[in-house]
């Protein structure tokens, strides 16, 4: 079940449906003209960065609502930065993670282990759980980890083996290496700039190589995949591809753009990049 769709885009904006709510928000890469300007009248609310960060008609929206995104039920809420609690451009990745784990699980004597770093509201964590893996969800924001736990409850996965960790990802990885904990599949979506649980500064240009070296240190003896995504300008698919090829020689590395998609007449909107290393 999917209740998300890109309806239209253009003039630096995107029009999207999240369940019963239609929103217009900034989209710098949509430099073309809207395909159907009349559709924009359907927007229940809009967000703008032109005169500071501000919503228009926000008061007409529910404080919280739910929408299925590729079969995962997500809690949504407008934030002061224009985010909602889901990045729908990652939904194809969710499907790939679920399918890959489901195919491999019957071949293993012990449950697969999936690690989601910089994990936000948990869509990918729940995709891993749907694939049957034992999951570990790590994010430096206590509020976002709680949001992710609520999403697990919505999907009746509260009792699934998921470790919910509020921590700086690099520090967590260092401890996991010392503990001897290893993972068969790892996803990381590092921010361009962020703060760890203890206020640690994370700047992707300086910290990503260290993070990837630590990721390699927690890979199992029979790893399935390492999935790297980015929303940082300049971190193109080739950049991510090169990083993973250098990190783990052998195997197979694929790469591409993450896309917002939906209505047939809506242009697909590039919204980040991805690369993944697999043994397949």
Place of tokens 């690099």: 170
- In this structure, how many other beta carbons lie within 10 angstroms of the beta carbon of residue 44? 16
Tell me the β-bridge partners of 135: 114, 162
User: Residue 193's pLDDT is what?
Assistant: 67
* Residue 273 exposure: Cα atoms within 13 Å on the Cβ side: 18
* Residue 159 exposure: Cα atoms within 13 Å on the Cβ side: 1
- Does 202 have pLDDT greater than 80? no
Give me 122's structure tokens.
């948990």
Residues 6+ apart with CB under 8 A from 52: none
Separation CA 269–CA 272 (nearest Å):
9
- For the segment 148-152, the average pLDDT, to the nearest whole number, is 98
User: Residue 210's pLDDT is what?
Assistant: 94
User: Residue 1's pLDDT is what?
Assistant: 86
Percent of the chain with pLDDT over 90: 91
Q: Are the beta carbons of 258 and 187 closer than 8 angstroms?
A: no
State how beta strands 45-48 and 193-195 pair.
Answer: unpaired
User: Residue 206's pLDDT is what?
Assistant: 83
Q: What is the mean pLDDT of the chain?
A: 95
**Residue 143 to residues 95, 103, 256: CA-CA distances in angstroms?**
25, 33, 31
Kindly indicate the confidence band of residue 207, based on its pLDDT and cuts at 50, 70 and 90.
confident
Give me 51's structure tokens.
């005169």
- Does 111 have pLDDT greater than 70? yes
Separation CA 35–CA 91 (nearest Å):
24
User: Residue 195's pLDDT is what?
Assistant: 63
Which is higher by pLDDT, 39 or 192? 39
Separation CA 131–CA 232 (nearest Å):
29
Between CA 55 and CA 181, with CA 235 as vertex, the angle to 5 degrees is 95
Give me 90's structure tokens.
């990652």
pLDDT tens column, 234-255 = 999 999 999 999 999 999 999 9
Kindly indicate the confidence band of residue 197, based on its pLDDT and cuts at 50, 70 and 90.
low
User: Residue 50's pLDDT is what?
Assistant: 84
Q: Are the beta carbons of 136 and 114 closer than 8 angstroms?
A: yes
Strand ranges inside the chain, DSSP E? 4-10, 13-18, 21-26, 45-48, 54-56, 65-69, 72-76, 113-117, 134-139, 162-166, 185-188, 193-195, 201-203, 225-230, 252-260, 269-278
Name the nearest CA neighbour of 233 among 269, 275, 270, 272. Answer: 272
For the chain, domains (ranges, CATH) are 4-76 (2.60.40.1180), 88-278 (3.40.50.150)
User: Residue 198's pLDDT is what?
Assistant: 64
Percent of the chain with pLDDT over 70: 96
Separation CA 91–CA 4 (nearest Å):
10
Between CA 233 and CA 240, with CA 239 as vertex, the angle to 5 degrees is 95
pLDDT tens column, 30-46 = 999 999 999 999 999 99
User: Residue 199's pLDDT is what?
Assistant: 65
* SS3 category, 276: strand
User: Residue 196's pLDDT is what?
Assistant: 63
Name the nearest CA neighbour of 160 among 183, 133, 137. Answer: 133
């Amino acid at each position: 079940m999917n209740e998300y769709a890109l309806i239209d885009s253009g003039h630096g904006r995107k029009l999207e449906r999240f369940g019963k709510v239609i929103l217009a928000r900034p989209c710098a890469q949509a430099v073309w003209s809207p395909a159907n300007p009349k559709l924009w009248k359907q927007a229940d609310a809009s967000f703008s960065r032109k005169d500071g960060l501000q919503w228009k008609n926000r008061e007409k929206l529910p404080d919280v609502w739910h929408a299925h995104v590729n079969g995962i039920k997500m809690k949504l809420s407008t934030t002061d930065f224009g985010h909602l609690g889901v990045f729908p451009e990652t939904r194809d990745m969710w499907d790939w993670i679920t399918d890959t784990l489901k195919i491999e699980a019957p071949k293993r004597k012990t449950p697969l282990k999936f690690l989601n770093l910089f994990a936000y509201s948990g869509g990918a964590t729940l995709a891993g759980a749907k694939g049957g893996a034992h999951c570990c969800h790590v994010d430096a924001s206590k509020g976002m980890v709680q949001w992710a736990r609520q999403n697990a409850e919505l999907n009746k996965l509260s009792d699934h083996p998921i470790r919910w960790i509020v921590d700086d990802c690099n520090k967590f990885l260092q401890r996991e290496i010392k503990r001897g904990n290893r993972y068969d599949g790892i996803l990381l979506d590092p921010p361009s700039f962020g703060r760890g649980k203890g206020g640690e500064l994370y700047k992707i240009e300086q910290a990503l190589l260290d993070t990837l070296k630590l990721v390699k240190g927690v890979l199992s003896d029979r790893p399935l995949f390492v999935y790297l995504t980015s929303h940082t300008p300049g971190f193109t698919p080739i950049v991510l591809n090169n990083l993973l090829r250098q990190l783990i020689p052998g195997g197979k590395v694929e790469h591409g753009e993450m896309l917002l998609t939906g209505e047939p007449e809506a242009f697909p909107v590039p919204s980040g990049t991805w690369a993944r290393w697999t043994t397949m």
